[in-house]
Amino acid sequence: MRTVDVVIVGASLSAAAAAKRLVDAGLETIVLERKELPRHKICSGILSPRGHRFLLENFGPLPREALHEPTSCHGVTFHFPSMVSLSMDFFGGTTPHLHRKYSDYWAIKQSGAEVHDQTSFAGLEDLGDHVLVHARKNGEPVEYRARQVIGADGPSSLVIRSIYPDYTKQIPWFFVGQKFHDIIECPLSPDYFHFWFHPGLGHYTWSHARDGRQIVGVGFKRGDNFAQKHENVVNYLADKHGVRLKPYTEDEGCGENFGPSLINRYVFGKGNVLITGQAAGFLNMIGEGMSCALHSGAISGEAVVEARLRNRPVQEMYRRMIASEVRRCSDQWNPLKIAFDRPHEADFPAALMALGWRDRAKVLRDMWRFILLYKEFKWGRQIARAALQRPLIGGYSMQRWL
Ligand SMILES: Cc1cc2nc3c(=O)[nH]c(=O)nc-3n(C[C@H](O)[C@H](O)[C@H](O)COP(=O)(O)OP(=O)(O)OC[C@H]3O[C@@H](n4cnc5c(N)ncnc54)[C@H](O)[C@@H]3O)c2cc1C
């Protein structure tokens, strides 16, 4: 059995950030990844300016292979049923369009941690002064002994389930799926990520260019029909935006824990086990999760280092330090912040004010109708309550952290 300071589960961006902090502090760190690296990760790869700054500052300039074509993104275009479209450029210029298979591999290598791929986390026992980690490599059991474990294993985190077996029943879940099409004609600008606030299309509808093809994606509550939802969007894009696509050649989808940041509910672990990244519930508005994965991951690593330095319980350190990231993520969903501040690093208020008053009114009406779509969702009440309380009390007092 290998004994180390810290075991991190998952070799994605939150893991790379956590590992970087631990390795820099001289702690022996092993990262477990269930897939063979470099591994595929379903993601649009649109990086926010904050995520871009984090990568540059911590890991250096990105290699070309870590980028898709087009290699950069100017910002986001929102489309509304009234056929008003709003393009918003990112503050500070374009950001890289990440190819997650290679960007994540690059980041984890840059962290300097030892990585064991094709090694699946299977369970753990927190014995107070250390944690026993059970994993499987090529079907064979492997064990590790660590002072702390960081669960950076994404939305369907097995690390969470090993400490809170009931957790998955306590949060709302969505399904997101995307299909890749060869393009006949596409008037949507390839320089932007396109998002539709359209209740008739789904809870989350997007499209963008990648490596010469067009991605059409839909998100909806679990149980709905992916093929039907997708076809509906393709027909809508053809009718309303003149997008002509060939039949799809590839598709993929996954379950997403979209809920925790919507209902202000995060999970940070217990005892010697910390949860970070999307597993902890960090997901910004319109599904941007890389920047908060990187920052929360770094904070989890720092919390371990600080706890050792000050001889304090690691949970106490982590919860104190992670509060700033929770506030940032919650602000992304705060209507007052959206209207009067800039929580998204793209200027929505300025883009809105650049419209004539008629179009502005249409946009606000369409957004309201879109929000009402969440009523039909089992968790609609909690989502609405969190949305209403956020402007009043910042939403913080109603947070329930596990
Ligand atoms: C369709 C789609 C589009 C998206 N587009 C964007 C976008 O454009 N911009 C953006 O910022 N975000 C986007 N996101 C969100 C973003 O991908 C995630 O928020 C981000 O990757 C979370 O990072 P993470 O490090 O927390 O976890 P993840 O990236 O989910 O990584 C978890 C890692 O843990 C590994 N793992 C899981 N279980 C185990 C186990 N038992 N043992 C060992 N390893 C395990 C996984 O293989 C994976 O490598 C998108 C998500 C989806 C689904």
pLDDT score for 202:
86
Is the pLDDT confidence value at 396 over 70? no
CB atoms within 10 A of CB 116: 17
- Measured from the CB, is residue 179 less than 6 Å from ligand 1? no
Q: Stretch 361-390: mean pLDDT, rounded?
A: 74
- The secondary structure element, H or E, covering residue 70 is strand 67-73
Top mean pLDDT of 160-169, 335-344, 386-395 is at: 160-169
- Between the CA of 14 and the centroid of ligand 1 the distance, in Å, is 9
Quote the pLDDT of residue 274. 98
pLDDT score of 75 more than 80: yes
> With 70 as the cut, is the pLDDT of residue 398 above it?
no
| Token code pair at residue 316 | 């106490």
Residue 333 has pLDDT above 80, yes or no: no
Reading phi first (left if > 0) and then psi (alpha if -120 to 50, else beta), residue 277 is in left
Output the CA 208–ligand 1 centroid distance in Å: 19
**What Rg do the C-alpha atoms of the chain give, in angstroms?**
21
Q: Which residues contact 139 (CB under 8 A, 6 or more apart)?
A: none
Q: How far is Cα of residue 79 from the mean position of the Cα atoms in its chain?
A: 22
Burial of 29-42, coded b for 16+ CB within 10 Å and e otherwise, reads bbbbbbeebbbebe
Are the C-beta atoms of 121 and 136 separated by less than 8 Å?
Answer: no
**DSSP-derived 3-state class of residue 356:** coil
Instruction: Express each pLDDT in 303-315 by its tens digit.
Output: 999 999 999 999 9
CA 49, 50, 55, 61 dihedral sign is: positive
pLDDT of residue 207: 98
To test the pocket of ligand 1, the residue of 8, 162, 261, 278 to mutate (highest count of ligand atoms within 8 Å of its CB) is 278
Token readout for 330 is 């919650």
Q: Fill in the DSSP letter of residue 346.
A: B
- What is the pTM (predicted TM-score) of this model? 0.95
Does 298 sit in the ligand 1 pocket, CB within 6 Å? Answer: no
Torsion of CA 377, 381, 382, 388, to 10 degrees: 120
d(CA 359, CA 129): 61
